Amino acid sequence: MLVATWNINGVKARLETLLAWLDERRPDVACLQEIKSVDEAFPGAEIEKLGYHIETHGQKGFNGVALLSRSAPLAGSVLRGLPGDPADEQSRFIEALFAVPGSETPIRVACLYLPNGNPLGTEKFPYKLGWMDRLEKHAALRLAEETPCIFAGDYNVIPEPEDARNPADWLGDALFQPESRAAYRRLINLGYTDALRATTEQAGVYTFWDYQAGAWPRNNGIRIDHLLLSPEAASNLRSVAIDKHVRGWEKPSDHVPVIAEIA
């Protein structure tokens, strides 16, 4: 089973790129972030022609997440919005249960778009940390269920210095602040596994290259797109891949897909 995450940076602007990648990779579940579309305007027809079911939690102009899957989620299992703050109107979280071929146990896949938190010194950074606190509480509850679970998405967190080409460039950025990184470590310490780091310790492995200052041709990237696996999912992890080549396609997102293969 292939579970992927990709910040698409505008699904309407990248639709042809998305369709080409879906046709090439054929993930079983694809988690999209920053779709920048309300639910009713999501361009689903062409995606459905490729055999995908679509669940969205959209928002006009920015944010928004979606689950694309080869089979529909189990009935009644779709959750839109991260629990813990009914006043939070930003569309950043969706999850669902999916049947696993050959298994009686389903897998839960959560798609998240964690707040950026910049600029520091504004209300955006406390919102980021508060969101991460809510995510930690929700992730702990899911662990207690002992169902295979994957929290996949754009975390907007650079976990370690080796996850950036030039760590010093990010010292004043919310993505690399000690508080952000500590909140990410707390998720790991709950019992989740960073899928990529379970398969390689290699530095220079990135998922995001800015559009500015020639970041892509100079490979000046960072790793901020992660798949965190519960013990039940991690025990069946076979491999992780980063589809870096997609960044070189026409009209690319500044992120690339990350894919975990689960036995």
Q: Which residues of 106-133 are buried (b: 16+ CB within 10 A; e: fewer)?
A: bbbbbbbbbbbbbeeeeeebebbbebbe
Q: Please state, in angstroms and rounded to a whole number, the distance separating the CA atoms of residues 261 and 259.
A: 7
Average of per-residue pLDDT values in the chain: 97
Q: How much is the pLDDT for 204? A: 94
Q: What is the mean pLDDT of residues 163-176?
A: 98
Q: How much is the pLDDT for 71? A: 97
Q: Is 113 a catalytic residue?
A: yes
Superfamily of segment(s) 2-262: Endonuclease/exonuclease/phosphatase (3.60.10.10)
Q: Name the residue ranges covered by the structural domains of the chain.
A: 2-262
CA angle 223, 228, 234 (to 5 degrees): 125
Q: Please state, in angstroms and rounded to a whole number, the distance separating the CA atoms of residues 31 and 167.
A: 27
Pairing of strands 258-262, 2-7: antiparallel
Contact residues for 86 (Cβ-Cβ < 8 A; gap 6+): none
Residue 121, CA atoms < 13 Å, CB-side half-sphere = 3
Q: How much is the pLDDT for 12? A: 97
Q: Which of 28, 154, 194, 225 is catalytic?
A: 154
Q: How much is the pLDDT for 201? A: 93
In terms of pTM, does the model score above 0.95? yes
Q: Please state, in angstroms and rounded to a whole number, the distance separating the CA atoms of residues 53 and 27.
A: 12
> Residue written as tokens 């579309």?
37
Q: Is 255 a catalytic residue?
A: yes
Query: In this predicted model, what pLDDT tens digit does every residue of 215-248 receive, in sequence order?
Result: 999 999 999 999 999 999 999 999 999 999 999 9
**Residues linked to residue 219 through DSSP beta bridges, in sequence order:** none
pLDDT over threshold 90, residue 123: yes
Which of 101-110, 118-127, 187-196 bottoms out in mean pLDDT, i.e. has the lowest? 101-110
Contact 133, 182 (CB under 8 A): no
Tokens of 97: 């249960």
Annotated binding site: 7, 34, 154, 156, 254-255
Q: Is 85 a catalytic residue?
A: no
Q: Which of 113, 155, 184, 206 is catalytic?
A: 113
- Confidence category of residue 70, pLDDT binned at 50, 70, 90: very high
Contact 53, 75 (CB under 8 A): no
Contact 138, 88 (CB under 8 A): no
Q: From the CB of residue 172, how many other CB atoms can be counted at a distance below 10 Å?
A: 11
Q: Which helix (H) or strand (E) holds 13?
A: none
Contact 230, 260 (CB under 8 A): no
**Residues linked to residue 7 through DSSP beta bridges, in sequence order:** 33
Annotated binding site for Mg(2+): 7, 34, 154, 156, 254-255
Q: How much is the pLDDT for 216? A: 97
